[in-house]
Amino acid sequence: MGDPRLLAVCEPVSAFGTPELETLLADMRDTMRHLNGAGLAAPQIGVGLRVVIFGVEANPRYPEAQAVPFTVLINPRLEPLGAEMEDGWEGCLSVPGLRGLVPRYRRLRYTGVDERGDRIDREASDFHARVVQHEVDHLDGILYPRRIRDLTQFGFTETLFPGQNLADD
Ligand code: NI
């Protein structure tokens, strides 16, 4: 947080199957796995392209956390399904050590393409929908603290959730 590249509006990807895109996605996957995140957007590693990845495996330690299929989503568009918003705690690899309570649409449709340029068109809800909204916000230069409505609900992960050893995502 503070790097101007995280505040920029990213450019769409126009060429698919290129070595540059493959290298970017490999770097993003490595970074997300290494930092144990739920998702990552290209500007988080300094690349101003409309590329996000996300995915969460089922974790018996967090039975309430929904599994999200590993997805490469390029040039995404989001369409909320209904006006219902839901508050949930978020963290971010670009805002390490902090958590904030963020309102997001509970249900949405997301479209875009994968790394081969093949169309993606899905509906998602709850945690899956939250992760997508968080990552796509990165492509428009928005970090989650700007979405927090009540700044008393923003703090250090260790203080808010002592002993839970939560990863940044
Ligand atoms: Ni983030």
Residue 42: pLDDT band (50, 70, 90) is very high
- 135 part of the active site: yes
For range 77-82, the mean pLDDT = 98
Q: Ligand 1 centre and the CA of 82: distance in Å?
A: 24
| CB contact at 8 A, 168 and 90 | no
Domains located in the chain, CATH noted: 4-160 (3.90.45.10)
- Spot the catalytic one: 11, 79, 135, 158: 135
When mean pLDDT is compared across 8-17, 24-33, 57-66, 157-166, the lowest value belongs to 57-66
Determine the distance separating the centroid of ligand 1 and the alpha carbon of 121, expressed in angstroms.
Answer: 22
The Å distance, Cα 169 to ligand 1 centre, comes to: 6
Q: In what order do the strands lie in the sheet with 39-41?
A: 39-41, 51-56, 68-80, 107-113, 119-125
- What's the pLDDT score for residue 55? 95
